[in-house]
Chains A and B, each alone.
Chain A
Amino acid sequence: MRVDLEGLVFARGPFTLRGSGTFGEGVHLVSGPVGGGKSTLALLLAGLLRPESGAVRRHGVSSALLLLQFPEHHITCPTVAGEVRSWGLAPEDVLLRADLLGRGDDDPFHLSRGELRRLTLACAVMQNPDLLVLDEPFSSLDCVAKGEACWMIEERGAGITIIFSHERAVLPRVDAIWEMEDGVLTARGSVPDAIPSWRHAPPYLRYALREGARPENIRLSDAREALCRIRG
């Protein structure tokens, strides 16, 4: 199972996006500053935008799903339970996972942005598609909810998960790092080898590297463990 980007070019006004590479099975993090082209690439990967040249080719991917940057854009039903059903899921399981038990009859627009984000993320993960593209899944979440979101993503055993995020504090365990800046996608490679060359690495990873530690992954706990190893 893999997704190939073959000389992808997409232009909108003065902005041009370019990207090539292969997303294999596992969790991929595409990081980069706001406005770098992450959401555009997410839409291209999901097939909601067409490239001007090049192609997105899916191999062995039978289902794909994109979690949009703004969770309110997913809403198509007047109740939270109806919204879950519109994803083809049973409300009880999803509401439990999203920590929204007892809110099934509420208007989804009455949920906070963070609650709505938890709901849509739970729906997306529980649908378990072969290709799951998450556009800024940690935005609007507090630290605890970000941690729970990371846990949900890590729990996905199979398939391709591509996370587009500028988050630099709470991150999940990933298999590969990519960077998107000024419309150009750059592959940094597999983790942990890619960590030293990661330009948008979070401050705690930079600190660990400066101290001579070699974290095994990109989470805060990985940096802490690596520092403990060298300090004894």
Chain B
Amino acid sequence: MQDPRLRLFAAAVLSLAAFASTAGAVAALVWWLLVTPRTKVLPRPGVFLPLIAMIAVTAALSAWGGGAGLSYFIRMTVILLLAAWVYAGTEEGEMLAVAVWALGDRVGFEIGLIAEMGLTGLAVIRQDIEHVRVAMTLKGIRPGVRSIVPLAANLIVTEIRRSDEIARLLVVRGYTIGGRICPLFRTEPGDVLASIMALIPVLLSTLPLRDVFILLG
């Protein structure tokens, strides 16, 4: 999808559909399989599999406590797949452009700037984790519970410090509130069709499917 407005719209409605019901999640998964480059947009297994494992553990605990563990696992996994697709496809400046297009130069610019900084922060955190991994290798430290806690604390402190530095830099450069940009978007015919198709999972997630099947029966 070339147009970031439609990409974000599709991701938002599909996430809602996946979150709302298992049927919506399955329909969103079908959409993901049909429209996106599928596994090509997924992060490397070392990043993706631990996230899936976390969802699986939570789902297992939920099921063990009598909750809808399987449904939770399906819904959250689909949301994760959608997030990976949006993250991989978003280029620098697109969030700012969409926010300004939707909400204007003042509020839109603020929200867009925060979103851009958040996305940049994710890439920086990835680099920081890689640096820590190299440092641990050089020091002969094996990854484990003992090493993970101080490392996580270190990463959080580093990110807070970095945010503070960026805020000071914005002040030094005279930033107060809002800004002006002229966003340009390129829309391909397939983008519109895919966005319309994204509404189907939303409809399925809101329909009382069980009642429909009872009526059909």
Residues of A within 8 A of B (CB): 46, 48, 65-66, 68, 73-78, 82, 86-88, 107, 109
Closest to A77 in B: B150
* Per-residue A-contact encoding for B152-192, CB less than 8 Å = 1, 0 else: 01100110010000000000000000000000000000000
Query: Which B residues form the contact surface with A (CB < 8 A)?
Result: 131-132, 134-141, 147, 150-151, 153-154, 157-158, 161
Given A109-B158, A109-B161, A66 and B153 contact (CB-CB distance below 8 Å):
no
Q: Whole-angstrom distance from the CB of A197 to the nearest CB of chain B?
A: 34
**B residues within 8 A CB of A66?**
138
A85 to chain B, nearest CB (A): 10
A48-B134, A68-B134, A82-B150 known; A76 vs B161 contact (CB < 8 Å): no
Contact of B150 among A68, A73, A74, A76 (CB under 8 A): A76
Which A residues touch B150, using CB under 8 A? Answer: 76-78, 82
A48 with B135: CB separation less than 8 A: no
Query: CA of A190 to CA of B141 in the docked complex: distance in angstroms?
Result: 37
* Contacts between chains A and B (CB distance < 8 A), count: 41
**A65 contacts B157, CB within 8 Å?**
no
> CB-CB < 8 A to B158: which residues of A?
109
- Cβ of A48: which chain B residues have Cβ within 8 Å of it? 134, 137
User: What separation, in Å, do the CA atoms of A141 and B29 have in the docked complex?
Assistant: 55
**Across the interface, which residues of A come within 8 angstroms of B132, CB to CB?**
76
Q: How far is the CA of A88 from the CA of B141 in the complex (A)?
A: 10
B139 touches A88 (CB 8 A): yes
CB distance from A174 to the nearest CB of B (A): 23
Q: Which of A76, A78, A82, A88 contacts B135 (CB 8 A)?
A: A76
Can you give 18 contacting A-B residue pairs, CB < 8 Å? A48-B137, A65-B138, A66-B138, A73-B134, A73-B135, A74-B139, A75-B154, A76-B132, A76-B135, A76-B139, A76-B151, A77-B154, A78-B153, A78-B157, A82-B150, A86-B139, A87-B139, A109-B157
| A122 to B: closest C-beta gap in Å | 14
A87 nearest CB neighbor, chain B only: B139
A82 contacts which chain B residues (CB < 8 A)? 150
Tell me which residues across on chain B come within 8 A of A74, comparing CB atoms: 135, 138-139
